[in-house]
Amino acid sequence: MNVFRIAFAYARRRPLATVLNVALLALGVATITLVMLLSRELEQRLVREATGIDLVVGAKGSPLQLVLAGVYHADVPPGNVPLAAVALLGQHPLVRQVIPMALGDSYRGFRIVGTEPAFIAHYGAAVAQGGVWAAPMEAVLGSEAARASGLAVGASFTGSHGLAEGGGDHGETPYRVVGVLAPTGRVIDRLVLTGMDSVWKVHEHHDGDEDRDANAGADPAKPQAVARASPAPEREVTLALVKYRSPVAAASLPRAINTETVLQAASPALESARLFTVFGVGTDVIRGFALLLIGASAFGLFVALAQALDERRYDLAIMRTLGARRGLIVAVLLIESMLLAATGLVAGLLVAHALAANVGSWLPAAAPLAAGARAWHPDEWGIVALALGTGIIATLLPAWRAYRLDVAATLADG
Amino acid sequence: MFSLNGIEHRYGATPVVRVEAWAAGAGEHWLLAGASGSGKTTLLHILAGLTTPASGTVIVGGTDLGTLSGAARDRWRGRSVGIVPQRLHLVGALDVRDNLRLARYLAGLPDDPDRVRDLLDAVGVADLARRYPRALSQGQAQRVAIARAVVNRPALVLADEPTANLDDAHAARALELLRTQALANGAVLVVASHDARVRPLLPHVYALPLRPETLAARGVAA
């Protein structure tokens, strides 16, 4: 016999009220934790993917679209720009490096990026098998693209038109896999990389077929990384990643590019912050709702304890006659509510982590967020404090009444 | 074994109990007699240290209750006094056996399964050890309440109207049980009762008069 056993016996005696309060709290904790885990992971990924990229340049249009297409590979690019303009930017004294990218095709949903080997270096990806492309139509697969497609070095595949699955095939110009990259945890894992000349070559073949392709493509706004007049090489690229030589460049370079060239410059840091602000409204609403659930469970706990106290006045009086100090009576109530709060808390955290770890199965677009959501987040200590604090606050008034219980009068009431 | 001197207790301006002097020797069995409203329950609570009288001294087993702090008095009560309250009242969330173990725990005494088992056997409810109080009859609950009152081997056993609502046979049996258990534990027994059937069964009697002030307060002419 001990104080925990007594508290547990009481909690067990009112199974429905107990289960209801635990469930309410668990729901609130799970919601708030899940939102926190996913939004923190999203924010971190947004920042991580943009690391080292000071600017994205491409066709004029929406800067957010440019960043989504060039950094996160999550949107279609606004259009194409002349390679010459990008090359010229590379000679600017404030620019350390320009990595051009030609987009437009994909393989089984993985984007085919025509670029330079510097792209691989930028993401710090090691070549796990084979090597880097040396000739047109040689491709290197990101680790996830290789795993999901099952392609290995030496295999061949043909890209399809457009960035989503379902575009027309480029059957006449197959790629050959010459290398596979090691995992990096960044977007490059989900890309298929090749030389820019490969992308140009693929599209030379059907200069005259543009209309057919446009009809077959899944996305009418689909960009065309195409060299339009093929033998006369006014080469085009889709966009380019820019690294500054010095932070000073941030003050003048974007505006100079936007006003003086055909290019548009967009800052990943600014655009992703803007994007996250938009998300933030949604997560704030969900978080508010979760707090409401936790508040409701606190109120439920309070009502249950206050009611229980009325029913238990005689029990408590008897315990006092058996030698229990006032403090012990308060401890029984406090432990009982802590028992419920802790159960709800643990259940909620487990549910949140389980949902976050398997987010891909119920929210496929968020699948990449699962990996980081498995780990314990320091902010979860705040949720622990919130849930247990809620339990304590709900107990204060009943505990005070129990403490003040007039034993003799309660017994005489009988 | 205990002595009360110059006790007076009142609720507001109304005196509810007054005892000039009452002393009991070791192992004695007492009837605390008096009509309803004469303050029997209040006097039992004073003896148990649950109520502090407005004036007077209460000495039980050599301890002056007036000198004990609240927590010390709770601790003293748990070990020295066994109470069978009028409504018995077992703790509903715990089964019969755990009600007895609870008494040992709350008094700060080590768990003693043998003692609990022997005692339940002695009062004739050994087979009900795992039942919850709501599954007990009135008579069974009273046996458990008596067992719980003596499980810590208290020096003083107090019972409040133990024969109320019992027929003659059951009343006699309840009294018999209280007496044998008090005897077995060498405890002083005080039974507060207005039941005439109890009087012949207890050798010592302390009678509380119904105070005129109480009557007046109730609107009854003295």
CA distance A194 to A203: 14
- The C-alpha of B202 sits at a distance from chain A's nearest C-alpha, in angstroms, of 24
User: What local confidence, expressed as pLDDT, does residue A229 receive?
Assistant: 41
Of B79, B85, B105, the CB nearest to A318: B85
CB A178 within 8 A of CB A139: yes
Mean pLDDT of A300-317: 86
Q: Which of A243, A199, A210, A218 is nearest to A95 (CA)?
A: A243
Query: In this predicted structure, what is the pLDDT of residue A222?
Result: 42
- For an interface test with B, give the residue of A12, A18, A322 to mutate (most B CBs within 10 A): A322
Which pair of tokens denotes residue B204?
Answer: 């010592």
- What confidence category does residue A89 fall into, taking pLDDT thresholds of 50, 70 and 90? very high
Top-ranked range on mean pLDDT: pick from A12-26, A152-166, A219-233? A12-26
Please give the torsion angle defined by the CA atoms of residues A320, A324, A327 and A328, in that order, rounded to the nearest 10 degrees. -120
CB B55 within 8 A of CB B15: no
**Alpha-carbon gap, residue A191 to A70, rounded angstroms:** 12
Residue with the larger pLDDT of the pair B21 and B211? B21
Q: In what order do the strands lie in the sheet with B63-64?
A: B14-24, B2-11, B55-60, B63-64
- B181-201 per-position pLDDT tens digit: 999 989 999 999 999 899 998
| Alpha helices in A154-261, H assignment, sequence order | 196-204, 210-216, 249-260
Mean pLDDT of the A101-114 span:
91
Q: What is the pLDDT of residue A408?
A: 86
A17 pLDDT tier (thresholds 50, 70, 90): confident
Comparing CB atoms, the residue among A5, A314, A323 nearest residue B78 is A323
Encode pLDDT of A385-410 as tens digits. 989 998 898 899 999 999 998 888 88
Question: Nearest to residue B159, comparing CAs of B97, B88, B208, B107?
Answer: B88
Q: How far apart are CA A139 and CA A155, in angstroms?
A: 10
Interface test mutation site (partner A, options B69, B86, B105, max chain A beta carbons within 10 A) = B105
Gap from B46 CA to chain A (nearest CA, Å): 9
pLDDT band at A221; cut points 50, 70, 90: very low
A121 has pLDDT over 70: yes
pLDDT reported for residue A276: 81
Higher pLDDT, A205 or A99: A99
Q: Alpha-carbon distance A316 to A7, whole Å?
A: 12
Tell me whether residues B85 and A315 touch, CB distance under 8 A. Answer: no
Residue with tokens 């380019």: A240
Average of per-residue pLDDT across B83-96:
89
CA distance A104 to A80: 10
Distance of CA A386 to the CA centre of its chain: 24
- Is A172 or B51 the better-scoring residue by pLDDT? B51
Q: Is pLDDT larger for residue A219 or for residue A335?
A: A335
Percent of chain B with pLDDT over 70: 94
Q: How far is A348 from chain B (nearest CA, A)?
A: 28
Band of the pLDDT at B219, cuts 50, 70, 90?
low
Helix (H/G/I), strand (E/B), else coil: A106: strand
What is the average pLDDT score of chain B? 89
Q: Does A324 sit within 8 Å of B106, measured CB to CB?
A: yes
Higher pLDDT, A215 or B102: B102
Contact B106 A414 (CB under 8 A): no
**A408 with B45: Cβ contact below 8 A:** yes
Of A361 and A332, the one with more pLDDT: A332
Residues A248-265: tens digit of each pLDDT: 888 899 999 999 999 999
CB-CB neighbors (< 8 A) of B107 in chain A: 322-323
A180 has pLDDT over 80: yes
pLDDT at B218: 60
Say whether pLDDT at A88 is over 50: yes
Residue A73 tokens read as 């590979």
Q: How confident is the model at residue A223 (pLDDT cuts 50, 70, 90)?
A: very low
How much is the pLDDT for A60? 92
Condensed to tens digits (0 to 9), the pLDDT of residues A341-395 reads 999 999 999 999 998 888 877 777 677 777 777 778 888 899 999 899 988 988 9
- What mean pLDDT is reported for chain A? 85
Q: Report how far residue B143's alpha carbon sits from residue B16's, in angstroms, rounded to the nearest whole number.
A: 31
Distance, CA of B198 to CA of B188 (rounded, Å): 17
Q: Does residue A62 or residue A365 have the better pLDDT?
A: A62
